[in-house]
Amino acid sequence: MDSLDEIKSRIEAAVPGAKIEIVQNGSPSQQHSLLIDNEHAVAIARFLRVDPALHLDFCSNVTGVDWIDRVVKKTTKVKKVVDGQEKEIVETTEEKIPGYLEAVYHLYSMTHKHGPVVIRMRTRDRAEGTHLPSLTPIWRSAEFQEREIFDLYGIRFEGHPDLRRILMWDEFENYPMRKDYREPDDYEWEPTPHDEVLARAKQHYTPRPTEDELKPS
């Protein structure tokens, strides 16, 4: 199978205007991925599936990732004049990176027996701009998995044939897989509270009157 650099170049040649970035993975797996732009995502996905050399006809896994707002410290060496002498000084700067959500797809070719090729899409933010194009029209196996990401992370997949909650009940609020999600203590409205959840909920119950309080005065 072609390298990611070669796949990137072939996509850019086949899909005019496509913007693709190779995202490095520093873990032991070294499973690098392609960040594709949302505007051309469906056309890129279609190319990956129908291209004779790649023929990535199976989407095995789709998952969500939550990147909250974070501050990254960067150190740089600069030359400055100190006490009349030029010295090399290490300066530290901070860069604030706004949060966003990602959908990550693992693609394989059942025909050529190769893969995975990992592609990802990124939302504009974690608030109003959480829309991504659905890739279910290209890989039907993504249907339930995109629904799960919608349910747990809040990404709204435009063009999905049946986008609705799949794990949480309809009245549930918020998205429990987001990193800043906090469980409420009062789970009285949960269909089946149990164990620790039930113990926390009992803190909100109205205390039962004692026998002395029930005696007529």
Q: Which CATH number is 56's domain given?
A: 3.30.460.80
* Contact between residue 160 and residue 103 where contact means Cβ atoms under 8 Å apart: no
Residues 188 and 167 in one domain: no
Helix (H, G, I), strand (E, B) or coil at 104: strand
* Paired sense of beta strands 20-23 and 85-97, if any: unpaired
Query: In this structure, are 133 and 191 located in the same domain?
Result: no
Q: Are residues 170 and 189 in the same domain?
A: no
> Quick check: 139 and 106 in contact, CB under 8 A?
no
Q: What is the DSSP letter of 68?
A: -
Q: Look at residue 120 in the predicted model and tell me its pLDDT.
A: 98
Our count of domains for the chain comes to: 2
pTM for this prediction? 0.79
**What are the residue ranges in the chain where pLDDT is below 70?**
185-194, 213-214, 217
| Residue 125 and residue 166 in one domain | yes
Cα 187 from chain centroid? 27
Within-domain flag for 107: yes
Q: Give residue 7's pLDDT.
A: 97
pLDDT at 191: 60
Nearest to 127 by CA among 91, 159, 94, 100: 100
Q: Are residues 206 and 131 in the same domain?
A: no
State the pLDDT at residue 192: 64
14 and 112: one domain?
A: yes
Q: Does residue 86 fall inside a structural domain?
A: no
Q: Which residue has the tokens 């429990």?
A: 176
CA–CA separation, 47 vs 65, rounded Å? Answer: 25
Q: Is residue 217 part of a domain?
A: no
Can you give the residue range of the structural domain that contains 203? 184-211
Is there a single domain that holds both residue 105 and residue 205? Answer: no
Residues 110 and 35 in one domain: yes
Regarding whether 46 and 21 lie in a shared domain, the answer is: yes
What pLDDT does 15 receive?
97
Same-domain check for residues 131 and 205: no
Q: Is residue 148 part of a domain?
A: yes
Residues 130 and 193 in one domain: no
The pLDDT score that the predictor gives to residue 190 is 57
